[in-house]
Amino acid sequence: MESTAVPSARMLSRPTVSVIIPCYNEERFIGKTLNNLATQYPCEAYEIIIVDGDSEDDTREVINDFQRAHPELFIKLVRNPQRSIPKALNLGIGAASGEVIARMDAHAVPSAGYIRQCVSVLIDGDAEVVGMPCLVQPGSDSAMAHAIALAVSHPFGIGDARYRLGAGRALQEAVDTVAFACFRKSLWSRLGGYDETLLTNEDYDFNYRARLRGDRVVLNRSEHCDYFARDTLSKLIAQYRRYGGWKARMIKQHPRSVRVRHAIAPMFVASIVVLAALGMWSSVAWLLLAAALGFYFIAAAGFAFQAARKSNAGVGVMSLMPFVFFAIHLSWGGSFLLGLIRQPR
């Protein structure tokens, strides 16, 4: 499924834009993402490239339905048999005709002006990478899904990643990374593309290498993107295990990229392991471990109460949040420590 290439930027008064969407088995979300992207930019200067990892559900049928409903749009479907996100991004950008690349996700739904505003900030300012906040939404209507969405958008859960924390004082600020960014295709070429050896953390790595060149990565808060979080604890744990292991791999490649937030969860997990091991010889270690875990869950309960009250969530959601926080920190921190000594899978 491929349409004629987007017209050259020389033929138009505006830069041409290519939206790149890696996906695999995303029948639940891809239609909503595409519908929100359809009118984001003038169609004569716009294309949407979906890089599909040979989905086994109805993802392609949803894409075909979207194409039939929007014959005015330039749509490309690119295969990604390897199913890795950085490979998908490189395949999609390599096939892109646009001067500006907008990296999107099948789990994300951009607000009405997301693409146009990102392009405006990129073209009119001095930034090389531009992104907007991600507002995390529950992946389903269950209490656990709501607890997960609140936990992964709270500083106690994910640290000081600005793009995940929503509102801020400044309309725009320089940051270390953004999630769904716009940048010129020429920047992708100069950086050598996304690192395909990193199966996650590819965005952070890309933005870090851009910053090493002296390029600015900017978070602008004039628009936003809704991101649908995992809806079960097992899916969340699997996700954060991947994140932790591959973050360790990236930091081994770029030691200077480490931030304080990257060390907190691994230190927490390491303290649990050390105190538990020392408890075999000293009861004091068990007492210290009990005190540490007690303090942790008191803090987690306090932050859960704060977040649930602010979002008008019920008692059920609030009671689940401390366990979600613990699952995030244990899975991310533990896999990060393992990733320092072995190759993540």
List pLDDT tens digits, range 56-79.
Answer: 999 999 999 999 999 999 999 999
In a domain, 2, yes or no: no
pLDDT for 160: 66
Q: Is residue 275 located within the same domain as residue 132?
A: no
Residues of the chain where predicted confidence (pLDDT) is lower than 50: 1-12
Q: What is the DSSP pairing of strand 182-184 with strand 100-103? A: antiparallel
Residue that finishes a domain, picked among 231, 262, 277: 231
Domain count, the chain: 2
In a domain, 222, yes or no: yes
Q: Is residue 262 located within the same domain as residue 192?
A: no
In a domain, 211, yes or no: yes
Q: Is residue 88 located within the same domain as residue 125?
A: yes
Question: If you write DSSP's letter for every residue of 21-49 in order, what string do you get?
Answer: EEESS-TTTHHHHHHHHTTSS-GGGEEEE
Q: Is residue 254 located within the same domain as residue 224?
A: no
Give me the residue label for tokens 């990060």: 336
pLDDT for 169: 66
Rounded CA separation 226/107 (Å)? 8
pTM, two decimals, is: 0.86
Give me the residue label for tokens 């020389």: 10
Helix axes 315-341, 233-253, angle to 10 degrees: 30
In a domain, 224, yes or no: yes
Q: Is residue 186 located within the same domain as residue 73?
A: yes
Residue 95: half-sphere exposure toward Cβ, Cα within 13 Å = 23
Residue that finishes a domain, picked among 231, 264, 280: 231
Residue that finishes a domain, picked among 231, 261, 278: 231
In a domain, 245, yes or no: no
pLDDT for 219: 93
List pLDDT tens digits, range 12-26.
Answer: 468 999 999 999 999
pLDDT for 234: 95
List pLDDT tens digits, range 145-199.
Answer: 999 999 998 889 877 677 776 555 678 898 988 989 999 999 999 999 999 998 8
Q: Is residue 300 located within the same domain as residue 224?
A: no
CATH of the domain at 142: 3.90.550.10
pLDDT for 4: 41
Q: Is residue 44 located within the same domain as residue 156?
A: yes
Q: Is residue 217 located within the same domain as residue 287?
A: no
In a domain, 307, yes or no: yes
Give me the residue label for tokens 């002006």: 113
Q: Is residue 274 located within the same domain as residue 133?
A: no
Q: Is residue 323 located within the same domain as residue 187?
A: no
In a domain, 134, yes or no: yes
Q: Is residue 212 located within the same domain as residue 78?
A: yes
Q: Is residue 265 located within the same domain as residue 301?
A: yes
Q: Is the dihedral of CA 167, 171, 174, 178 positive or negative?
A: positive
Rounded CA separation 43/20 (Å)? 15
pLDDT for 343: 72
In a domain, 240, yes or no: no
For residue 98, what is the DSSP state? -
Domain span including residue 185: 9-231
Q: Which residues sit opposite 52 in a β-bridge? A: 23, 79
